[in-house]
A and B are shown apart, each in its own frame.
Chain A
C-alpha cells in the first residue's frame, strides 16, 4: 500500500494521505489529475469497484470536496480519492465512462449540490426532487428550516424540546435540573 501511495505521490502528486480506518485510506488529488488517477487505480491497481461518489460542502473555504470511494477486491482495501473543486463554479469531469453507474451519483450531486458534470447522461432530469426550483438543498447556504416553514407551513401547538433535558425530566423527575 505504501509503495503504491509513494508511486502515486510521484506520478499524480497526491497529498493529505490519511488512514481513516484499518482498510480505508483517503488521499487528495488535484482536480486535473483526478480522472487520470482514478483510471489508473481502476485499470492497474485493482480498484475495480466504485462504492459511491459523494460531496462535502466546505462553505467556509469556498470548496466542495468530492469523494470517490474505490474498492479493491484483491486486498479488500478501500481508497477514498478526494478532490477539491471550486464552490462557485462547481464542475467536475464525469467518470461515467469508467463506471456506467457513476452517472447516477453524478445526477444526485448535480441535484443536491449543483455540481455540473459535463457529458454525464441525463444531467438535466429530476432525480429525487421533482420540480425543485430553489438552490440545491444540500448546499449549506440553503436554510432548510425557513424553506420548510415557508413551503409546508407550521402547525401551531408544536413544541420542540431539547431531547436530553426532556428525557431527563421524564425519566428522573425527582433530580431536578442539575446533573
Chain B
C-alpha cells in the first residue's frame, strides 16, 4: 500500500503518535501495577501508580550529566528508536486502519530483526562508557538472547507454516472468530515454546542475570543517568508493551479494541511475573543451556506438530 499524498502520511504519523502515547502510558501503568501486585504478595502497599511517571520526570529534570562520547550519547537514542520502530512495524488493533501503524512496510520478520536495532545501539552506547560491567552485562544479555531466539524462531516458523504468511495482520485475521481460533488453542505447542522464550525476552527472573543489580550494578545501563536514563525508562515500558502486543497478535488472537488489548497483554505479562517471583535466578550458562533443552525441543515439536497434525 503506497501513500500517495503527504497529508495521508501526516495522518498516519499522527495516529502512530497516538498509539505510541497509549502504549507507553499503558506500559508504564502495567509496570506500576505489577509492582503493586508483587508488593501485595509481599504484604506491602507498593508504589503509587504515578511512580513510573514521576521517576521519568525526575531523571528528566536532573540538572547535570556527563558524557563518555558520541556513542554513549546516542545509545539511548538508538534504544528508544528501536522501541518506537518496533511498535511502528506492528499493527496494534486488528481491523483498525488508524492503529495499524506502519505495518505495511514489512512483516513479522522485519519486527523480529528490528528488535535488535535498539539492543545493538544501546550495547554500543554502554560499551563506550568504558565500564567493564556494562560490557559484561551485554555479553551475558546477548548470549542469552541467542539462546531464547531458538525456541522463539521455531515457534515463529511453526505459525508461519500454519498461517502460510508472515504478515502480522493476516496472522491476526486468521485467528478471528472466537477464542477457539487463537494460536494458543490451534497451535498450543508453538505457543508453549514461544512463551518459554518470552520469559527470557522479558528479562525477569530467572533470566535476569544480565541486569544483576548487585553483582554488576544493573549491567548495561550502569553508567546512564539523567535524561539518558529517562529515555531508557520510557523505552523499557514501551518496548515491553510492544513485545506483549506482538505476542498477543501472534498467539492470542490479537485485539479489536484497546480494552481487549490491555486485558490480554496484562495476562500475558503475568506469566513472566508469576514465573519471575517464583523462581530464583539462573546463572547465564545455565539459562542458555535451559533454552537449548526443553524449550528448543518443544519448538521442534511445534514444527512437527504443525506439519503432521494441522496439515
Do A and B have CB atoms closer than 8 angstroms in the complex?
A: no
